[in-house]
Structure 1
Amino acid sequence: MRIQKRIFRATREGNFKQVKKLQKLLSGSREAILLSIRRVTQINRGRFTSGVDGKVYRTNEEREMLACEILNTKLKVYRCAPVRRVRIPKPGKMEKRPLGIPTIRDRVFQMIVKLALEPEWEAKFERNSYGFRPGRRCMDAVTQIRINIVDRKGYTSSSWILDADISKCFDSIDHEALLQKIPVFTSIIRQWLKAGVVEFGQYYMTKAGTPQGGIISPLLANIALDGMERLFGSIRSSGKYAVPSQRRGNDKGIGVIRYADDFVITAPTRERIVNYVIPKIRDFLGSVGLTLSGAKTRIVHRDEGLDFLGFTIREFVGKRVRACLVQPSKVRIAYHLNRVKSLLDENKQATQAEIIDMLNPILRGWASYYKYANSKKVFSYVDYRMWVMLWQWCRRRHEREGKGARWIVSKYFRRVRTRYWTFADAPEHALFYAGDMKLSMFRYVKVKGEASPFDPELNEYWFKRQKME
């Protein structure tokens, strides 16, 4: 929306009176309300998931009624409903994560407020914050860690890494500390924070945290955690950004990379992390009601590496080269293969075509996420394991018939282009193999500094970046 770019520009210029005026104008505009309804009821993944009222809006007639209701409701008199709590399993873990699902109506209001708040905060956020921000993705954070550990020339001042974990971040954020950072829409945001949850018909008050599942929750979490990088001298007295190697004193060589509530800090020595970094981080987190998890927070050397956002990142030192290897983590490889195995076990009677249609979106999505990493060997290994699982699936289907290996090969496998033994029911309908991707074609270009899609001066930059992707 054009008005969002005006909000961004006014924030960068320090004209906060104009920012507030434009935000109020946007939140009451028909365009913002209709756009919010479209995103919530037609685009978002949870569009058919109801809140405590049990309502979803599937037809145009139902959406028109919702639009009329919201257009006639002023934010001053708006009252929200409690969220419905559900628990979903964490990937690769036995424990479950609580999700708070607002009603569709409340989600629309949250989207309206997000449209107004996001441009202002995109102009304020630190450059090495990457999670849940427009135009930024996981690979940007991973690339920045790679730069901090080993730069292009093979030199670095950051040998040690604080692999940090915030204990129950979304459930523990202090409401008042968060609201002090947000000068507008304070009363309505307080409503969402204090709305309470309903689980198994029982109502519970919420005294802290932002409900995971709310549209505005990731933005609120980013606002609460904003300022972490500035603790270590990232902004000079002139207002310009200082890279870690240009900072002074104890701040020299310290880099902060954050993706939502996951963050790592690189530093020259272990002692600097223990005596300087961790105390400052604990004080900062304590100011917003958060704590570091003692069990999950650890200090590692770059040789040992760390797992971050599904990647294993570590230094590699050869005879003539020093580099940073970024590969899919063993945990995520195992989770991916177990997911495929579970799908095959649950669909023993499905046809080959149905199996291909079920697997291909999973395989393409996984390969697309890791295509910018050093994934060639991993992709080959995953393809081999896929072949073994599919062979076992084929054998089980015809176990009673006593069909031999040659018959199974002729029925289920064929040559497709240059690959033999492709699982396919027709040349044009084959299983996707990650190993067929030409990884040399993919070289990730990290997002530039503080660039934002809301910056009207960077329209050409974002147009070119979208074409690259």
Structure 2
Amino acid sequence: MRPLGIASSKDKIVQKALLTILTPLFENVFLDSSYGFRPNRSCHSALKTIYYEWRGIKWFVECDFVSCFDKISHPIVLSIFNNYLDDYWTSNLLNRFLKKGYIHFGNLIDSCLELKMGTPQGSITSPLICNILLHELDCFMAKYINKYSNFAAKDRGASEEYNKSKRYMGTEWEPVWKKVRELTHKNVSGAKLRAALRTIRKLDAAARGVRYYQEDSEMKKVQYIRYADDFIIGLISDKKFALKTLSAVSLFSDSLGMQLNLEKSGVKHYEKGTLFLGFKIYGDYGFNVKWRKNKDGHSQRVGDVVLKFGIPLERLFERYADRGFFQKV
């Protein structure tokens, strides 16, 4: 566990002064994809960005560092710092704060007078140091997004199913598929029902003049957001590309001296969802669909590709059970 460092009053004043000077300098450097320990960029700001900008996500790439603050490499973070601010005395002062150890009064043998790695818990400068280091990850992901994101609905051709379904509109087939919806037996398996609903929705979309677009494995969209040392990636792609993205992030993290926790990192489908900042984020596309007229007078679906936010009940129940509030069966 990272030791809790309680600095002296003089040290706190110097650290706060250093933070006051460096914060506006690095605010001009940090990207919009990073949140946490930054002015007006709280966890709610990050969640709002996901809600309003992450549309139609199919895969989540979950990433979790192994003891991020404990593993921060002093030479690497100082090298990054010097790239943005070439000032010997400021760099030297930051280096002294990084190396500053602690005294364990309850067990003097456990004391560490000079840290070789990581930052002490409770240090005023630790959050900024973390953001300076992981800014390199933000830049890497920005380049990755520019390289692979080529998603544009207007460039995709209409699906064969759309073209076929148009010929049935206004014929005896139209009341048939409506009746299927009404007469679906309650014992029909969920998988079959979802498949039928997908077909019905596509036919319904064709009737309203709304195009469904064919799936194209070459079409990709990458979204990325980071809150301090916690970050996720959202993808419109196939699973193979999602795994490739996880591998790329893992390799780049190694170059920063960071290591991904393989047990807590992985790829999740949108229906299963992911956990981020205390919320379960998942997709429930196709239900509660609303319609509106676009500028051409055609009906357009809205609201069916927006991610939903829920409470991770399973995780909460497990924690309560571990604390003795519930009994596991």
- TM-superposed deviation, 1:97: 5.5
Q: Does 2:37 correspond to 1:132?
A: yes
Number of paired residues? 235
* Cα shift at 1:125: 0.5
Whole-angstrom CA distance in 1 between matches of 2:270 and 2:52: 12
Cα offset, 1:114, TM superposition? 0.5
| Residues 13-71 of structure 1 deviation map (CA, whole Å, 9 limit, x = unaligned) | xxxxxxxxxxxxxxxxxxxxxxxxxxxxxxxxxxxxxxxxxxxxxxxxxxxxxxxxxxx
Matching of residues 310-349 of structure 1 within 5 Å:
310-321=278-289, 322=304, 323-330=306-313
From 272, 292, 305, the equivalent of 2:260 is 292
- Aligned mates of 2:264, 2:287 — CA distance in 1: 34
In the TM superposition, residue 256 of structure 1 has moved relative to its aligned partner by 1.2
| 1:201 aligned partner | 108
Specify whether residues 269 and 102 from structure 1 end up closer, same or farther in structure 2 by C-alpha distance, changes over 3 A only: farther
Secondary structure of 1:112's match? helix
How many angstroms apart in 2 are the aligned matches of 1:141 and 1:244? 24
Determine the C-alpha separation between the residues in 1 that align with 2:307 and 2:258: 32
Post-superposition shift, 1:143?
A: 2.4
Secondary structure in 2 matching 1:228: helix
Q: Which of 116, 120, 129 is the aligned partner of 2:21?
A: 116
Report if the CA contact (8 A) 1:149-1:159 is conserved. no
Q: Distance in 2 between matches of 1:314 and 1:98?
A: 36
**Structure 2 counterpart of 1:306, from 274, 285, 295:** 274
Contact in 2 for aligned 1:250/1:272 (Cα 8 Å): no
> Shift of residue 301 of structure 1?
0.8
- For the residues of structure 2 that align with 1:131 and 1:144, how far apart are their CA atoms? 13
Provide TM-score, normalisation by structure 1.
Answer: 0.45
Instruction: Structure 2: give runs of 5+ residues left out of the alignment.
Output: 153-216, 290-303
**Which residue is equivalent to 2:134?**
225
Amino acid at match of 1:228: L
Residues 1:331 and 1:206: Cα distance change in structure 2 (over 3 Å):
farther
C-alpha displacement of 1:278? 2.4
Q: Which amino acid aligns with 2:136?
A: G
Is contact 1:177–1:288 with CA below 8 Å preserved after alignment?
A: yes
Inter-partner Cα distance in structure 2 for 1:99 and 1:145: 33
Q: For the structure 1 residues 137 and 111, does the alpha-carbon distance in structure 2 shift closer, same or farther, using more than 3 Å as the test?
A: same
Task: Give a deviation string over 1:368-409, Cα, whole Å, max 9, x none.
Answer: xxxxxxxxxxxxxxxxxxxxxxxxxxxxxxxxxxxxxxxxxx
The aligned amino acid for 2:119 is T
Counterpart AA for 2:130? A
* Structure 2 match to 1:32: none
| Residues 110 and 236 of structure 1, relative CA distance in 2, 3 Å threshold | same
Alignment identity in percent? Answer: 30
Given candidates 56, 60, 66, the residue that maps to 1:167 is: 66
C-alpha displacement of 1:164: 0.7
Query: In the alignment, does 2:11 pair up with 1:106?
Result: yes
CA contact (8 A) 1:315 1:325 kept: yes
Identify if the C-alpha distance between structure 1 residues 164 and 135 changes in structure 2 by more than 3 Å, giving closer, same or farther: same
Q: Deviations over 1:211-252 (max 9, x none)?
A: 121001001100000032332445999xxxx98847xx9995
So what's the TM-score if we normalise by structure 2? 0.63
Question: Match of 1:179, as an amino acid?
Answer: L
Q: How does 1:19-418 map to 2 (within 5 A)?
A: 98-150=3-55, 156=56, 158-182=57-81, 183=85, 184=87, 185-199=90-104, 200-202=107-109, 203-204=111-112, 205-233=114-142, 245=151, 252-267=220-235, 268-275=237-244, 277-321=245-289, 322=304, 323-330=306-313
Contact 2:59 2:239 in 1 (8 A): yes
- Change beyond 3 A, Cα 1:190–1:319: closer
| Paired residue type of 2:99 | K
RMSD over equivalenced CA pairs, Å: 3.3
Q: CA deviation at 1:255?
A: 1.4
Distance 2:99 2:53 in 1: 40
The CA deviation at 1:337 is 7.8
Q: Whole-Å Cα distance in 2 between the matches of residues 169 and 216 of structure 1?
A: 15
Structure 1 residue runs without a partner (length 5+) = 1-95, 151-155, 343-469
The alpha-carbon distance between structure 1 residues 325 and 214, as it changes in their structure 2 partners (threshold 3 A), is same
